[in-house]
Amino acid sequence: MIKVEDPRFRHLKRKVAVFAAAAIVVVAVVILLIGKENDLFTKKYQLKVTVEKGTGFTRGMQVKLSGFRIGRLKSISLNEEARVDLVLLIDQKYQKWIRKDSTAKLVKEGLVGDAIIEVSVGSRDIEALKENERLSFVKTKGLDELADELADKVKPVLSDVGEIIRYLNDPDGDIKQSMRNFNLLAKNLDLTRKKADSLLVHAEHQVGSVSGKLTTVLENASDTVYKANSSISSLEQKLPVLLTSAEISLKNVEKISGDLKHAEEALLPKVPLLLQKSEDALQGTNNVLHAVKGIWPISSRIKAPQENQFVPGDSHD
C-alpha cells in the first residue's frame, strides 16, 4: 500500500510540540513580569479600619503614605453595628511607618482626582501596627457639609441686614424722630425770622438818628434774613419729598433683601446636589480617559513626562 504524504507535514508533531512549548515559556515569563510590575510577589499584611459609612470607598482603591502608593483596599463589609469594616492590604516593607497613632482618611487627589485612602506616618517612639490590628479613621468634610456650613454662616448676616432695615424704618426709631425734629426746627426758624423783622422795624424807629451806613447795614441784614427765609421755605418744601423718597428707597431695600432671602432659601439646598453631580460627571470623564490611556497599544505611546526640563542657558548670556 502506497502512503502519500505531503513533505511539509513531516515531523509535524514535533514542530507543534516545540511551538507550544515556546508559547508556554513566553506565557510564564509574561506572567512573572506582570506579577512583578503589580507587586504580586511582595509580602503584604492586613490592617482593619472601621468607618461610619462606606460612601466613596471602592474595592481596589489606592492606599497612600506621603504621596506614595503602599497598598490597596482589599474588602468592604457592613458589620453588626451597621458600620463599615474596611480591610487594607499593605506592603510589608512600609509597616515600620504605620504606627499605633497613625490615622487613615479618605481624600481626593486634586479637585477631580481619584479618591484615595491616605495614611499618616506615626510617631517614632510608638510601636508599629501588626497584622489585623485596627487603624483609626479621621473623617474629612464632604462638599455638602461644606455647603451647609457656608449657608449657616450666610444666614445670620442676612438676618442682621433685615434687622438694620427694620430699625431704619421704625416710626418711633431714632432716625425717623430726628427727621421730625428737623422739620419742627425749620418751622420755628420762620417764627424767629418774623420776630427779628419786627425787632428791626422797632429798632429803626428807636435809632432814627443812626448814620446812613448803619441803615444800609441793617438793610443788608434784612436782605440776608430774607434770603435765609426763602432758603428755609425752599428746604421746607423739599424736605417732605426727600423724606418720602428715602422711605420708598428703604422699602425697596427691604423688599430686595426679602427676595434675596427667598432666593437663597430656594437655591442653597440645590447647590450641594449640583456640585455632587458635576463632580460625578468629571470623575466619570476622568475614569474614561484613564481607561483609554491604559489600553494597549495607546498606553505604550504615552511617554512619562520628564522632570528635568530646564530653560536653555547660553554660556555667554
Partner 1 sequence: MISGNRTVKTILLLVLLSTVWLGGCAVKRAKPLSQPRQQALQHNRLGIEAAARGDRGKALSEFSEALRLQSSIDNSEGMIVALVNSARIQRLQGDLQSARQSVERALSLSSGSFIFGSELFYEKAKVLSAAGDLTAALEWGVRAEAAEQGEARGRRQNLVALLLLRQGFPDQAKERLEQALQLNRKARMSAEEANSQRLLGEIHLVQGSYDKSGASYQEALILDKALGLGARIAADLSGLGAVTARKGDIPGAIDWYQRSLEVSRNGGDKESAAATTAELAHLYRLNGRKAEKTEKD
Considering beta carbons, is residue 109 or 223 the nearer one to partner 1?
109
17 binds partner 1 (CB under 8 A): no
Q: Does 34 bind partner 1 (CB under 8 A)?
A: yes
**CA-derived radius of gyration, the chain:** 44
| Residue from 2, 14, 37, 206 binding partner 1 (CB under 8 A) | 37
At 86, list the grid cell.
474596611
Interface pick for partner 1 out of 60, 67, 171, 212 (rule CB under 8 A)? 67
Measured from the CB atom, the residue of 105 and 193 that comes closer to partner 1 is 105
Under the binding rule (CB under 8 A), the answer on residue 41 touching partner 1 is no
Kindly state whether residue 296 participates in binding partner 1, applying the rule CB under 8 A: yes
Judged by CB under 8 A, does residue 310 bind partner 1?
yes
Residue 266, all three cell numbers:
430656594
Tell me if 308 contacts partner 1 by CB under 8 A: yes
3 binds partner 1 (CB under 8 A): no
Query: Least Å distance between CB 306 and partner 1?
Result: 8
* Rounded Cα–Cα distance for residues 120 and 172 (Å): 62
Q: Which stretch binds partner 1 (CB under 8 A): 19-27, 47-55, 161-169, 202-210?
A: 19-27
* Residue 156 makes contact with partner 1 by CB under 8 A: no
Identify the residue among 18, 23, 263, 289 touching partner 1 (CB under 8 A): 23
By CB under 8 A, residue 7 contacts partner 1: no
Binding mask 242-281 for partner 1 (x = CB under 8 A): ----------------------------------------
Q: Which of positions 93-112 make contact with partner 1 (CB under 8 A)?
A: 109-110
Q: Of the listed pieces 78-86, 240-248, 258-266, 298-306, which binds partner 1 according to CB under 8 A?
A: 298-306
Minimum CB separation of residue 160 from partner 1 in Å reads 37
- By the 8 A CB rule, do 68 and 154 touch? no
Region near partner 1 per CB under 8 A, out of 182-190, 249-257, 262-270, 294-302: 294-302
> The dihedral of CA 192, 198, 200, 202: what is its sign?
negative
Q: Name the residue nearer to partner 1 (CB basis): 24 or 210.
A: 24
Per CB under 8 A, the segment of 76-84, 176-184, 271-279, 302-310 that binds partner 1 is 302-310
305 binds partner 1 (CB under 8 A): yes
- Sequence length of the chain is 317
3-state secondary structure the chain: CCCCCCHHHCCHHHHHHHHHHHHHHHHHHHHHHHHHHCCCCCCEEEEEEEECCCCCCCCCCEEEECCEEEEEEEEEEECCCCCEEEEEEEEHHHHHHCECCCEEEEEECCCCCCEEEEECCCCCCCCECCCCCECEEECCCCHHHHHHHHHHHHHHHHHHHHHHHHHHHCCCCHHHHHHHHHHHHHHHHHHHHHHHHHHHHHHHHHCCCCCHHHHHHHHHHHHHHHHHHHHHHHHHHHHHHHHHHHHHHHHHHHHHHHHHHHHHHHHCCHHHHHHHHHHHHHHHHHHHHHHHHHCCCHHHHCCCCCCCCCCCCCCCC
CA end-to-end span of the chain: 93
Q: Enumerate binding residues for partner 1 (CB under 8 A).
A: 6, 9, 12, 16, 19-20, 23, 26-27, 29-30, 33-34, 37, 66-67, 109-110, 113, 290, 294, 296-297, 299-300, 302-311, 313-317
